[in-house]
Structure 1
């Protein structure tokens, strides 16, 4: 039985399509949650400087006993550290906190106006110097990606954005797939659980003998989207990984497609204040 699958980034790096997110996972819960995720089978862990849990992610990796090269670790440069020199320092700071020699993917967390191009230039330097295997962005709209294409040399490998059944990001997803940029969903189950109580999702869960969360995660995988669900509950961490032994039909996929309401739970990348 398949227990994982990968997306190949445009530079050939293989990224596990189902990862474990740690946004809003407290330092107190971080080590146990990440260690449980690795024990369950996750090999892709997503953190960020602003989450204030990089130390705990690193500790869980050390406790797991899994070889570093078998893991795929993402972190992100926060808005206050954006700019060329400050980003290079932020990367070093993240590595120290994680206790790692490198992360597999480094992202610009938000498109801070007048700063994200310089920030991305720093990521290009890290990539050119082989200090990080893959670079990308988070919360970037198409016009931000086009700005990078016009002014920078290396196409982002990943764009991580809010994406779930109520905000399907079809235009952005199509643009990214067409241009060789992998698209990754944060809040893949939709914060607050609204998607999971939707009657369409509930009906599909009953049909397949799965939970609503498993149905939504399966939907992401079948749309070639990378997903990073988060939980601190061991049974839920296990449940969210158990999505490789069933498939949604095209009718099922269309039913979920009909739920798109362009409804955000997070800020719009064109109008955020951090």
Structure 2
């Protein structure tokens, strides 16, 4: 599936116009996040494209500062719903594995899916260790895992772990930020032989791997050029692209998050100042969480997952649905490009 990414697109017109162009060019999935500060512009772009809400697959993310229990996560999701002018999110992701207890946050995500506020839930920037540990803790596997995946940074352990757990892969930055393009590069040579652009080859490789891709651009011509795919890479072509993997990451922070060990991911937030004056709402949430420290795990296991698994609790009923998650996600994308 071809989606459109909005990270880095400025609010106030740039993001709105880019989303409108993308949707008119045939994109039907739009990926945003609360931390991008452009959710309102995404909603404006959808309206400007004259599309119905049900014709667009909306993805947004829970900001790290909003990790916590069901109250924290619900508050953040409802704020995103207001900004996006919608009653539900098609896919809601934990943006990165930091900011509090992963287990409590994931349990809350499952509960909000059961409430109908999100139709699918997943994670972003979770490495293979975190994905495996989440399921080992008895939780349901994420339906989708987003990470920076492209021809120069293929994230093979991550992709393998997702395949084993039945997790669909959403490839963020599928063009490697455009930093490795050039006529003299190996990808450039392959593109020239195919009579295609490097971007087209990079996206086609990811799509043939079964990934959802979310290229982003503010240039209308580039947005439109990334949309049509009237060619196929041969097995030899695919092997040539596979050989280009060099472990490159355009985002060092995302790469660092992908390496986070499970023990660090489930730790509570660090202490904040007594008054939290410079912390805003996030500081208030963190102080509330410190007061709950020691009982958060039990609360998450009993409350968050019980609603999501039909009363069976997160543990025991959680991992069982993991194998069908990718299939359910695929069904939701039926009819999208």
State TM-score, norm by structure 2: 0.73
Partner Cα separation in structure 2 for residue 229 and residue 113 of structure 1: 27
Match of 2:163 in 1: 177
Give a deviation string over 1:100-140, Cα, whole Å, max 9, x none: 11110000000116422211111100111222110000000
Give a deviation string over 1:222-274, Cα, whole Å, max 9, x none: 0111110000111100011122x1001111111111111112221221369xx
1:29-178 to 2 correspondences below 5 Å: 29-84=14-69, 85-112=71-98, 114-151=100-137, 153-178=139-164
Structure 1's 242 and 78: CA in aligned 2 closer, same or farther, altered over 3 A? same
Structure 1's 221 and 103: CA in aligned 2 closer, same or farther, altered over 3 A? same
For the residue of structure 2 that corresponds to 1:255, the secondary structure is helix
Structure 1's 198 and 145: CA in aligned 2 closer, same or farther, altered over 3 A? farther
Whose helix fraction is larger, Structure 1's or Structure 2's? Answer: 2
* Unmatched segments (≥5 aa) in structure 2: 265-337
For the residue of structure 1 that corresponds to 2:174, the secondary structure is coil
Partner Cα separation in structure 2 for residue 127 and residue 214 of structure 1: 35
* Unmatched segments (≥5 aa) in structure 1: 1-16
Count of aligned positions: 255
| Conserved 8 A contact 1:20-1:42 | yes
Partner Cα separation in structure 2 for residue 116 and residue 139 of structure 1: 13
For the residue of structure 2 that corresponds to 1:27, the secondary structure is coil
Single out whichever of 108-117 and 153-162 deviates more from structure 2: 108-117
How far apart are 1:145 and its partner, in Å? 0.9
Query: Bigger radius of gyration, 1 or 2?
Result: 2
For the residue of structure 1 that corresponds to 2:169, the secondary structure is strand
Q: Does 1:22 align with 2:10?
A: no
Q: Does 1:231 align with 2:186?
A: no
Match of 2:205 in 1: 219
Partner Cα separation in structure 1 for residue 242 and residue 65 of structure 2: 37
Partner Cα separation in structure 2 for residue 63 and residue 264 of structure 1: 34
Give a deviation string over 1:192-246, Cα, whole Å, max 9, x none: 4214556221112112221110010000000111110000111100011122x10
Give a deviation string over 1:71-106, Cα, whole Å, max 9, x none: 100000000111112111100000001111111000
Partner Cα separation in structure 2 for residue 45 and residue 56 of structure 1: 12
Partner Cα separation in structure 2 for residue 258 and residue 209 of structure 1: 20
Partner Cα separation in structure 2 for residue 54 and residue 198 of structure 1: 38
| Conserved 8 A contact 1:121-1:152 | no
Partner Cα separation in structure 2 for residue 194 and residue 257 of structure 1: 15
Q: Does 1:262 align with 2:247?
A: yes
| Conserved 8 A contact 1:201-1:212 | yes
Partner Cα separation in structure 1 for residue 52 and residue 164 of structure 2: 34
For the residue of structure 2 that corresponds to 1:100, the secondary structure is coil
Whose strand fraction is larger, Structure 1's or Structure 2's? Answer: 1
Stretches of 4+ aligned residues off by more than 4 angstroms: 195-198
Structure 1's 216 and 146: CA in aligned 2 closer, same or farther, altered over 3 A? same
Give a deviation string over 1:59-82, Cα, whole Å, max 9, x none: 111222212111100000000111
Query: Larger relative contact order (C-alpha < 8 A, sep ≥ 6)?
Result: 2
Partner Cα separation in structure 2 for residue 97 and residue 114 of structure 1: 25
